[in-house]
Structure 1
């Protein structure tokens, strides 16, 4: 343990049990001094707040909560499709049986998991590196941030078409550059492995700025005293980042990772525009599989089961991630 880490851990930080004890003590004091009931004016302001928030809550209920609940109901129902539409005819578990026995669903799940883990890991590393560079800029930081945000602000369909032009095997920029070197044209989107990697590159290019901005906000909020004390004690730049700043950045990185997992696991527009799920079904995500089942094959029950299972997997993953994150809050050891 470095001298600065030893001084921080012994003089400025209390052990986790004492922190929890003091938190419980403050909680008891707060509840002891809090009035037992609110005044009529406070209740009136609360009712007024709910009144003003009710239009937004109704919109959220109509466009978010109701479709989710209806999708769950549809996934456990017999759905009869006719020329007049569709109707629900009794409950059944056959939709999930078809789902679990489908090799296509398993492949889409594996691809979505690998795509999420790979892109999020690369984006966190690159975003942190970009944030460190932006933090050191004294002039022109605003212009650099504006240029950095251009890929992220671009609509995914447009960026997908842009990368589709780059990857095209006939007139694409990548093929023109690599053909003199390799001696033949390169059809990146025509090979399953290369098509998945090409999708990952396009996703990293677009969303790394999002991670960089979040990490930069966390870097700006870090206490300068800790870094200056480590520098005075003779710690190198890498040691300061790895043993001092990175542990303090855990909450910020957790937020960035959580947002990116939610976005990457539900990816639809990028493979839809860039590869169409191909070649074959090699780049078909869970979102694309559910869309094809419902709107191309008109299998509303299995399609709703795909959507519901995807939402359940994301929910379980996020809850597990938050549980691990909460268990580490307050237990960071600088310099370990």
Structure 2
């Protein structure tokens, strides 16, 4: 009886395997499969990583090296000499640098604020539309779809002091035909108008996407509590739009601070240097004066300023978000 019981308990089940792997230990086949999948993933991602390295990382490193070295141009190409801070010393002592930086900062702040306000208003209107929303979105995206150089050339015709429609309209309203692109303040205002006209659709579409994600139950709760339209916007809609708005503002700061094509086509940086941006100053130093070290110093300093502004903006936004969460 005991012998039969022992033989019955020692016999493996039919179709089973008595040699099972210890618990918590991965079988060799599973581990090798995971490593194989990892190698395959890196293999497929390597072309994209190589392109990113060549297109992005190498120019940044090379520009940084140019800005801190004595650069000589001869028949054999560029020759990098000993390290030096002369390019940054010349940049910090150049009044054109401060003027270009002030214009770029002012243009960025004014244009981004106007685009944020107008884009939010346009998104609020689009959210309340029905069947016509798709057509209006397509119409709204037309300025954004235009190439910057083409849009700037079209507006240069409108601002032309002889036959431009904007000059004619000012003459009909004000009784005089102003030279819009020939004076500093009107030229700066015209550049802001063109940028706002072209880029407001981008902000509107981003904000509209955020509005579509807000649950209708939140608005119903606010209506039950007796909140009006203005209170609902400030207390319900705007707080939930903050992450989306932060992304839109961040993208616009990066784009607006690097403005080059609008002043290049509209005013060539004039009158004088009134509308010369930092990017245009770097272009002139690099390609017209053939000062490669100085041009690289302008590019590196601009990138550092933009990075600092973006990090400061993200830090302030995170601090406000954490404060709201704690509250």
Matches within 5 A, 1:1-336: 39-332=31-324
Q: Deviations over 1:138-190 (max 9, x none)?
A: 11111111011110010000000011011000110111222233333221001
* Structure 1 residue matching 2:79: 3-state secondary structure: strand
Whole-angstrom CA distance in 2 between matches of 1:82 and 1:193: 42
Whole-angstrom CA distance in 2 between matches of 1:121 and 1:39: 54
| Uncovered stretches (5+) of structure 1, i.e. residues with no partner | 1-34
Runs of 4+ in 1 over 6 A off after TM superposition: none
* Structure 2 residue matching 1:88: 3-state secondary structure: strand
For the 8 Å contact 1:293–1:299, the answer to whether it is kept is: yes
* Structure 1 residue matching 2:298: 3-state secondary structure: helix
Give the TM-score of the pair, scaled to structure 1.
0.86
Whole-angstrom CA distance in 2 between matches of 1:83 and 1:275: 34
* Larger-Rg structure: 2
- Over the aligned positions, Cα root-mean-square deviation in angstroms equals 1.8
For the 8 Å contact 1:151–1:205, the answer to whether it is kept is: yes
For the 8 Å contact 1:77–1:89, the answer to whether it is kept is: yes
Q: How big is the shift at 1:322?
A: 1.5
Q: How big is the shift at 1:331?
A: 3.7
Cα 1:39–1:325 shift into 2, 3 Å: farther
Whole-angstrom CA distance in 1 between matches of 2:325 and 2:224: 20
Whole-angstrom CA distance in 1 between matches of 2:43 and 2:323: 41
Q: Deviations over 1:2-40 (max 9, x none)?
A: xxxxxxxxxxxxxxxxxxxxxxxxxxxxxxxxx9xx943
Whole-angstrom CA distance in 1 between matches of 2:117 and 2:172: 33
For the 8 Å contact 1:248–1:332, the answer to whether it is kept is: no
Whole-angstrom CA distance in 1 between matches of 2:228 and 2:116: 23
Q: How big is the shift at 1:320?
A: 1.5
Whole-angstrom CA distance in 1 between matches of 2:280 and 2:43: 39
Whole-angstrom CA distance in 2 between matches of 1:55 and 1:141: 41
Q: How big is the shift at 1:52?
A: 0.8
Cα 1:180–1:320 shift into 2, 3 Å: closer
Whole-angstrom CA distance in 1 between matches of 2:218 and 2:35: 45
Whole-angstrom CA distance in 1 between matches of 2:75 and 2:271: 33
Cα 1:124–1:169 shift into 2, 3 Å: same
| Uncovered stretches (5+) of structure 2, i.e. residues with no partner | 1-25
Question: Relative contact order, CA 8 A, sep 6+: which one is greater?
Answer: 1
Which deviates more, 316-325 or 162-171? Answer: 316-325
Give the TM-score of the pair, scaled to structure 2.
0.88
For the 8 Å contact 1:80–1:89, the answer to whether it is kept is: yes
Q: How big is the shift at 1:86?
A: 2.5
